[in-house]
């Protein structure tokens, strides 16, 4: 048991997975959940991963030892305002947003004295979303990054770290701005690029929908998985990690133009060197246990 | 039994998978293989997926009823010149190149009268390459596209189609230029973009290698799989499908710039609409049996 009472604000993929994992591992005595959407609340009641589902965030945080903000980044400010007067002294507030500086700016100013805000981000997810998509194993073997400030209570951070470790995650501490840059590279830009490529394919009328779909196994289908992620969440990520995303996109287009030029001018050596270099990084990811070496992610045939 | 004697020129992922599949399903009485590399020939002998491994393409095609050109697109012309005088009258020659117009231009002029050239492209593969990477199930539930010309022998095309069907593939006929455009969308551009993004990540010294690797599960790792594909094969694809690739890349950068501008100006509606639209195409791919609906391709935890 790590926390007596946990409040989950938002009941999507991450929050529902946390609930499943906390229950499986006996990490919380009581879990209260809430969502702005009555449909989401009804599904969460039906699936039954919380002890209690309530209508408002203010109600949910009452007596909670840990409050988890699991709403899109753009909704953090409003939720923080709403819960601030209801928080129990000594409570820990954390979040699971994909961007950290913007969340800190939205949440920290509203936190009362004696409440510990420890920003966090589990680097785990799938292309599915909503309260039915959660599962207890989501965080296993994945990293969760905490970005406590210099004056964040050490004991509160340590306890939260134990919760994540208990759910199967590895935990790292990081500076919030550095987090936002790293994630721009490993997540935000790849998502934007995948969304773009899928959008282009969708637009091309000479290549009919059915051809794009039938022949997707040649590479494109991997992009469509990423581009099937939650639109609201991703809109907010880009709007709130603007600077780092645009910087990395600038680098990306620069490199892409160099490769385009190599194609146009027939510079095969440039292409071959580039494509050889990128192989090594894949090897590193497999050796670090962050992906499978099985061909095509081991999915094999799909029928 | 569909062919008495099959010759495989090149012994990489595709050719070795064909050999495994033909043997499993009893589609060829005798399979001869060859590769320019003595190391590849030695491995192929060791794995044992051919009845016979010979040193040259000219030797391999002797008496063959079907010759499969499974070399990088840039090597097709030289191989076609080498085998042309040795081909058996009435033989069928096919290829498995990812680009069709350039292969037709490289191969067709060398084909003697009475030899049937039926260009082909199995839309199947993994990020692995070489003679050890083949497996009999590679083509199951995947499409193979044939691009016969108007004067291609119908019986030769039909027999080749039966071979592919026998190995578990679906088969479509298509115009060669249209093939090259469709594949630019579903394969060539996605690969170039993935290579680019992985190259950018590799370049960024502020984000150390170890961070890019540790935190890759947030989206980036999917790109690294694609960017681990065979460099020589992909160099040749881009050099030989220049026009379609550059056209689709132009569309891609146009769209990317529009999304970048939406991020810069904070136009959340534009982003949200775009990200919503791309979800539908994923659904189509899953319904068409071309990918799994399991979260993260079903790979789950990787340790």
Residue of A nearest to B226 (CA): A219
Average pLDDT over residues B186-192: 94
Walk across the sheet containing B28-34 and list its strands.
B52-54, B28-34, B3-9, B66-69, B92-95, B116-118
Report the run of H or E that residue B4 belongs to, with start and end. strand B3-9
pLDDT score for B7: 98
Average pLDDT over residues A186-200: 94
Contact list in B for residue A294 (CB cut-off 8 A) is 299
Interchain proximity B219–A264, CB inside 8 Å:
no
Least CB–CB distance from A225: residue in B203, B260, B297:
B297
Q: What share of chain B is helix, strand, coil (3-state, %, to 5)?
A: 55, 15, 35
Residue of A nearest to B220 (CA): A186
Flag the least confident range among A210-224, A252-266, B104-118, B182-196.
A210-224
* Region for residue A300 given its phi and psi (left: phi exceeds 0; alpha: psi -120 to 50; beta: otherwise): left
pLDDT score for B50: 98
Tell me the nearest-neighbour CA distance from B62 into chain A, angstroms.
33
pLDDT at position B303 over 60: no
User: Among residues of chain B, what percentage have pLDDT more than 90?
Assistant: 80
**Cα–Cα distance between A124 and A111 in angstroms, integer?**
27
- Per-window interface: A 61-90 vs B, CB < 8 A: 74
Least CB–CB distance from A181: residue in B207, B238, B303:
B207
Three-state secondary structure call for residue A244 = helix
User: Among residues of chain B, what percentage have pLDDT more than 70?
Assistant: 98
pTM: 0.90
pLDDT score for A300: 52
Interchain proximity A235–B292, CB inside 8 Å:
no
- Residue A54 phi/psi, 5-degree rounding, is -120, 170
Contact list in B for residue A288 (CB cut-off 8 A) is 213-214, 216
Sorted by where each starts, the structural domains of chain A and their CATH numbers stand as 3-174 (3.40.50.720), 178-266 (1.10.3660.10)
Kindly list the distances between the CA atom of residue B99 and the CA atoms of A127, A158, B19, in Å, as whole numbers in the listed order: 31, 56, 22
Say how far residue B235 (Cα) sits from the centre of its chain. Answer: 13
Which tokens belong to B286?
């899953």
- Whether residue B50 contacts residue B22, with contact meaning beta carbons closer than 8 Å, is answered with no
**Cα–Cα distance between B261 and A241 in angstroms, integer?**
14
Contact list in A for residue B183 (CB cut-off 8 A) is 215, 218
Interchain proximity A278–B220, CB inside 8 Å:
no
Rg of chain B over Cα atoms, rounded to whole angstroms, equals: 21
**Cα–Cα distance between B24 and A187 in angstroms, integer?**
42
- Per-window interface: B 128-157 vs A, CB < 8 A: 128, 133, 135, 137, 140-143, 145
Span A56-111, pLDDT tens digits: 999 999 999 999 999 999 999 999 999 999 999 999 999 999 999 999 999 999 99
Least CB–CB distance from B126: residue in A98, A193, A296:
A296
Start-to-end CA span in chain A (Å) = 43
Contact list in A for residue B283 (CB cut-off 8 A) is 228
B274 at A interface, C-beta within 8 A: yes
A290 at B interface, C-beta within 8 A: yes
B246 at A interface, C-beta within 8 A: yes
Report the run of H or E that residue B173 belongs to, with start and end. strand B170-173
pLDDT at position A180 over 70: yes
B135 DSSP assignment:
-
Taking CB atoms within 8 Å and a gap of at least 24, the contacts of B163-166 are B163/B2, B163/B3, B163/B22, B163/B27, B163/B66, B164/B120, B164/B122, B164/B139, B166/B2, B166/B21, B166/B22, B166/B25, B166/B27
Query: Which residue's structure tokens are 């620069």?
Result: A254
CA geometry: angle A25, A31, A36, nearest 5 deg: 130
B208 at A interface, C-beta within 8 A: no
Q: Report the mean per-residue pLDDT for chain B.
A: 94
Interchain proximity A263–B301, CB inside 8 Å:
no
Least CB–CB distance from B218: residue in A186, A212, A214:
A186
Three-state secondary structure call for residue B105 = helix
- Whether residue A54 contacts residue A32, with contact meaning beta carbons closer than 8 Å, is answered with yes
A113 C-beta neighbours (distance < 10 Å), count: 5
pLDDT score for B300: 52
Least CB–CB distance from B263: residue in A126, A181, A246:
A246
pLDDT score for A286: 86
A265 at B interface, C-beta within 8 A: no
CB pairs under 8 A between A and B: 365
Residue of A nearest to B262 (CA): A239
pLDDT band at B58 (very low <50, low <70, confident <90, very high): very high
Which tokens belong to A29?
């005595």
Residue of A nearest to B258 (CA): A196
Report the run of H or E that residue A182 belongs to, with start and end. helix A176-183
């Amino acid at each position: 048991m790590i926390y007596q009472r946990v409040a989950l604000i938002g009941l999507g993929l991450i929050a529902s997975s946390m609930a499943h994992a906390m229950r499986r591992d006996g990490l919380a005595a009581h879990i209260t959940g809430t969502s702005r959407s009555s449909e989401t609340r009804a599904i969460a009641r039906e699936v039954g991963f919380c002890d209690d589902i309530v209508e408002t965030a203010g109600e949910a945080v009452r007596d909670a030892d840990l409050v988890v903000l699991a709403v899109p980044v753009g909704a953090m400010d409003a939720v923080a305002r709403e819960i601030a007067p209801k928080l129990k002294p000594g409570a820990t507030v954390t979040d699971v947003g994909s961007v950290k500086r913007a969340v800190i700016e939205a949440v920290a100013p509203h936190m009362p004295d004696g409440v510990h805000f420890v920003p966090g981000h589990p680097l785990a997810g799938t292309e599915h979303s909503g309260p039915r998509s959660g599962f207890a194993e989501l965080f296993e073997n994945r990293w969760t990054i905490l970005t406590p400030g210099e004056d964040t209570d050490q004991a509160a951070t340590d306890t939260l770290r134990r919760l994540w470790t208990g759910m199967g995650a590895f935990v790292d501490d990081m500076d919030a701005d550095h987090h936002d840059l790293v994630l721009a590279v490993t997540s935000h830009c790849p998502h934007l690029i995948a969304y773009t490529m899928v959008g282009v394919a969708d637009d091309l009328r000479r290549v009919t929908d059915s051809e794009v779909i039938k022949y997707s196994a040649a590479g494109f289908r991997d992009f469509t998985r990423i581009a099937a992620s939650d639109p609201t969440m991703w809109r907010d990520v880009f709007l709130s990690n603007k600077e780092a995303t645009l910087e990395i996109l600038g680098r990306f287009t620069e490199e892409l133009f160099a490769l385009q030029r190599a194609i146009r001018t027939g510079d095969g050596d440039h292409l071959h060197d580039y494509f050889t270099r990128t192989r090594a990084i894949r090897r590193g990811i497999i050796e670090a246990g962050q992906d499978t070496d099985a061909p095509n992610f081991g999915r094999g045939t799909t029928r």
